[in-house]
Amino acid sequence: MTEQSSYSHGTGTTALLGDTIGANLDRTVAAWPGREALVDVPAGRRWTYAEFAADVDRLACALLASGVAKGDRVGIWAVNCAEWVLVQYATARVGAVMVNINPAYRTHEVEFVLNQAGISLLFASLSHKSSDYRAMVEEVRGRCPRLKETVYIGDPGWAAFTARGADTPRDELRAREATLSCDDPINIQYTSGTTGFPKGATLSHHNILNNGYFVGESIAYTEQDRICIPVPFYHCFGMVMANLAATSHGACMVVPAPSFEPRATLEAVQQERCTSLYGVPTMFIAELNLPDFASYDLSTLRTGIMAGSPCPVEVMKRVVAEMHMAEVSICYGMTETSPVSLQTRIDDDLEHRTGTVGRVLPHLEVKVVDPATGVTQPRGTAGELCTRGYSVMLGYWDEPEKTAEAIDAGRWMHTGDLAVMREDGYVEIVGRIKDMIIRGGENIYPREIEEFLYAHPKIRDVQVVGVPDERYGEEVLACVIPSDPADPLTLDELRAFCSGRLAHYKVPSRLRILDAFPMTVSGKVRKVELREAYGV
């Protein structure tokens, strides 16, 4: 009997959407005009679907009046707020390409994005924490010849800009929409480059509308759902998995704060009676660790999404039991695939939710291949995960060579992730190809060691990386955040815990006790920084 190969195709009875984002929004507004669409909790503002669509149209008409043509790039460099969402849907209405800019970027990075994408109009926050966006724009403006205008959210200039569309007939907007195809590029998202400059993943209406829709389908969204969104809008997690999942189902988007704050998140869930909550595992850990966590009424929660990095078993148990999220889902993906290709379902057991990242979504294909030969591996064998289907990006903006490196001739997107497909089609992510540790010829997957070490009572969080070693090529370093900083783990204790339970070559030979890990804004640990800082 031949072995089953690590290939899976997502079947389903629900058809793909052939709409543009604007046409899909129209359908939702017609069905539920009076239901709440958007709540900006810190600003105390709320919109029904009819009101939301009217404000989207007003902003879209202002874009037309300002000369924004189909295909023009419009940047948004802002923290989470209602205006971010309005810009998302208004640019889609007129066929402009919205370029998401990470709010953590500084002048060097924003200058690169403004020029690489050719942004002519920029929407920006005024300031947030240590970022003075207006000052940074003024500093780079002279070096960005394509940038014609900047509109600041929270400034009188925002109202003045939206007022420009007052005399633009809605017929003109409808005429523009009639020229749009669902395959048009509509969004550029810069993937966090760990080396060199980031690349602009270019996504279509079809890419992101369908991905948001099927993510929502997998957790049974209806017009009754209210989604608390503490994850950033500039990232697919916020604007696709939350916003587009909501508007394609008539659900409500709830913005708890401009950036993640655990207390504000739980207050928003309680106040707005949210049924769904999103976050990376570190966000859920921060919420669960609030001293007054038990005082919040989270009984309306049903579901939610955890993504970005693996979820420790103990954290998942508490999310289900103490946050009432019995139907919480794990998602896996990457910006280049709109983003989600694998997801757990609402009736999956604890082991599948913590040991895997789910199974393939409808209308998508995944396979696990030998990174060296490209040959599909047997199930149970590690290799590179590849994805194909409607979600694969159009390409990296203006970088055909880099696109060809990521998407092969068969239209498979190569993720760079090491994965194992189980017999039941569920997929385990065992690390990044570049994170894999090769010690004395043995392949070591950090995720396996991390999961094992989470069970140690003195470990609150752990990241395992490979560091250079003259004898073995690489050695295993455990970076640990202790449960009690006053009583940290010792290397001897760590090795004793592993002895006889992990193969000798997997046992960490080095230990670093840390207060925190270096993180990307989207909540992923930057292992490259750990390697660089402690690999000596």
The tokens describing 196, both together, are: 């060199």
pLDDT, average across residues 2-22: 94
DSSP 116: H
How does strand 364-369 pair with strand 185-191?
unpaired
pLDDT at 460: 95
SS3 annotation, 302-360: CEEEECCCCCCHHHHHHHHHHCCCCEEEEEEECHHHCCEEEECCCCCCHHHHHHCCCEE
Question: Which pLDDT band holds residue 488 (cuts at 50, 70, 90)?
Answer: very high
- Write down the residue that tokens 């923290």 correspond to: 79
CA distances from residue 439 to 260, 444, 468, 507, 534 in whole angstroms, order as listed:
38, 7, 9, 11, 17
Q: What percent of the chain has pLDDT over 90?
A: 85
For Cα atoms 312, 317, 320, give the angle at the middle one, nearest 5 degrees: 125
Among 130-139, 207-216, 226-235, 519-528, the minimum mean pLDDT is found in 519-528
Q: What is the pLDDT of residue 478?
A: 97
| Cα-trace Rg, the chain | 23
CA distance readout (Å), 167 to 62, 163, 164, 179: 9, 9, 7, 21
Q: Which of 37-41, 479-483, 502-506 has the lowest mean pLDDT?
A: 502-506
Q: Please check the confidence at residue 89 and state whether its pLDDT lies above 50.
A: yes
| Residue 470: per-residue pLDDT | 85
Tokens of 298: 């989270």
Indicate the pLDDT class of residue 2, thresholds 50, 70 and 90: low
Q: Helix or strand or coil: residue 46?
A: strand
Which residues have C-beta within 8 Å of that of residue 306, sequence separation ≥ 6?
278, 279, 280, 281, 284, 316, 319, 328, 329, 330, 331
Work out the average pLDDT over 422-444. 87
Task: Write down the pLDDT at residue 195.
Answer: 44
Mean pLDDT of 223-233: 97
79, pLDDT greater than 50: yes
Q: What is the pLDDT of residue 519?
A: 87
The C-alpha angle with vertex 173 and arms to 171 and 175, in degrees rounded to 5, equals: 70
Domains along the sequence of the chain with CATH: 21-421 (3.40.50.12780), 435-534 (3.30.300.30)
Sheet holding 7-9, edge to edge: 7-9, 364-369, 383-389, 413-421, 427-432
Judge whether residue 432 has pLDDT over 90.
no
In this prediction, residue 403 carries a pLDDT of: 96
**What global pTM score does this model have?**
0.88
pLDDT of residue 224 exceeding 70, the answer is yes
Question: pLDDT, tens digit, for every residue of 104-144?
Answer: 888 988 999 999 999 999 999 999 998 999 999 999 999 99
Predicted local distance difference test score (pLDDT) of residue 430: 85
Higher pLDDT, residue 473 or 339? 339
Instruction: Give the mean pLDDT of 299-305.
Output: 98
12 neighbors 363 (Cβ within 8 angstroms): yes
| Band of pLDDT at residue 442, cut at 50, 70 and 90 | confident
Q: How confident is the model at residue 168 (pLDDT cuts 50, 70, 90)?
A: very high
Averaged pLDDT, 399-408: 96
Is the pLDDT assigned to residue 398 strictly greater than 90? yes
CB 124 within 8 A of CB 134: yes
Q: What average pLDDT score do residues 342-360 get?
A: 95
pLDDT at 148: 98
Evaluate if residue 458 carries a pLDDT over 70. Answer: yes
pLDDT beyond 80 at 322: yes
Secondary structure of residue 268 in the 3-state scheme: helix
Residue 104: per-residue pLDDT: 86
Reported confidence tier of residue 472, pLDDT bands at 50, 70, 90: confident
Q: How confident is the model at residue 282 (pLDDT cuts 50, 70, 90)?
A: confident
Is residue 1 very low, low, confident or very high in pLDDT (cuts 50, 70, 90)? very low
Which pLDDT band, with edges at 50, 70 and 90, does 191 fall under? confident
